[in-house]
């Protein structure tokens, strides 16, 4: 074995050892952080449920709904107060956002009227698309009290009733898409509930 071959073999062995050590380190970090991250995400969802159903004090049953044509399911937190159907908090998403995707929680009363919305995760452009969050603009407030069965969930530019965020029409359309998905999931749960009664 020549000097070059010996150096190459040492280099390969060294790189293999470094790669193995890095893989083990990453695995350990993942195992250590996995549970706290999951707890933080669940805490964010619980806070969002509380914000979109602010006066609710009762029981929640979780159901998943996969709408026709969608690739991912939506989580519906069905709310019962004193044994009666109160409404639902729907964890919805859109894949039509400027950044690709975002998720929001939408609260509905028993009739399907929007109680409140809360952004769970979004990476929209700061100063523009991030105005989907009510902490940054009044844009989401226009949905409050509206029933998507009667309120056209499209931006005015597309013939709907929603005032888009200036210079952020894509984010506005995506927000409407997420709410429509939430409403369709809410209706699916409500129809199933009515069939069972």
Residue 41 lies in a domain: no
How confident is the model at residue 48, as a pLDDT? 80
95 membership: H or E segment, kind and range: strand 84-97
Number of domains in the chain: 1
Residue 188 lies in a domain: yes
Question: How far lies 190's CA from each of 53, 55, 102, 110, 178, in Å?
Answer: 17, 20, 25, 9, 18
Residue 11 lies in a domain: no
Which one is predicted more confidently, 124 or 92?
A: 92
Average pLDDT over residues 191-196: 65
To the nearest 10°, the Cα dihedral for 111, 181, 46, 89? 10
Residue 43 lies in a domain: no
* pLDDT > 90? residue 165: no
Average pLDDT over residues 63-69: 91
Which residue segment(s) compose the domain that 130 sits in? Answer: 49-196
Residue 23 lies in a domain: no
Residue 178 lies in a domain: yes
Global confidence as pTM = 0.76
Residue 115 lies in a domain: yes
Phi-psi region of 21 (alpha: psi -120 to 50; beta: other; left: phi over 0): alpha
* pLDDT > 70? residue 18: yes
How confident is the model at residue 2, as a pLDDT? 64
Side-chain half-sphere exposure of 138, counting CA atoms within 13 A: 2
């Amino acid at each position: 074995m020549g000097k070059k071959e010996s150096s190459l073999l040492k280099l390969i062995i060294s790189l293999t050892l470094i790669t193995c050590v890095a893989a083990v380190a990453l695995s350990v970090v993942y195992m250590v952080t996995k549970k706290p991250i999951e707890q933080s995400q669940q805490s964010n969802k619980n806070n969002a449920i509380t914000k979109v159903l602010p006066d609710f004090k009762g029981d929640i049953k979780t159901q998943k709904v996969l709408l026709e044509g969608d690739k991912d399911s939506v989580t519906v937190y069905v709310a019962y107060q004193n044994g009666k159907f109160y409404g639902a908090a729907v964890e919805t998403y859109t894949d039509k956002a400027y950044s690709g995707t975002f998720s929001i929680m939408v609260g509905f009363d028993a009739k399907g009227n929007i109680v409140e919305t809360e952004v769970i995760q979004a990476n929209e452009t700061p100063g523009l698309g991030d105005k989907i969050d009510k902490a940054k603009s009044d844009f989401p407030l226009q949905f409050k009290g509206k029933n998507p069965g009667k309120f056209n969930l499209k931006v005015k530019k597309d013939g709907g009733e929603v005032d888009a965020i200036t210079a952020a029409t894509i984010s506005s359309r995506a927000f409407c898409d997420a709410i429509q998905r939430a409403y369709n999931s809410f209706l699916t749960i409500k129809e199933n509930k009515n069939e069972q009664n």
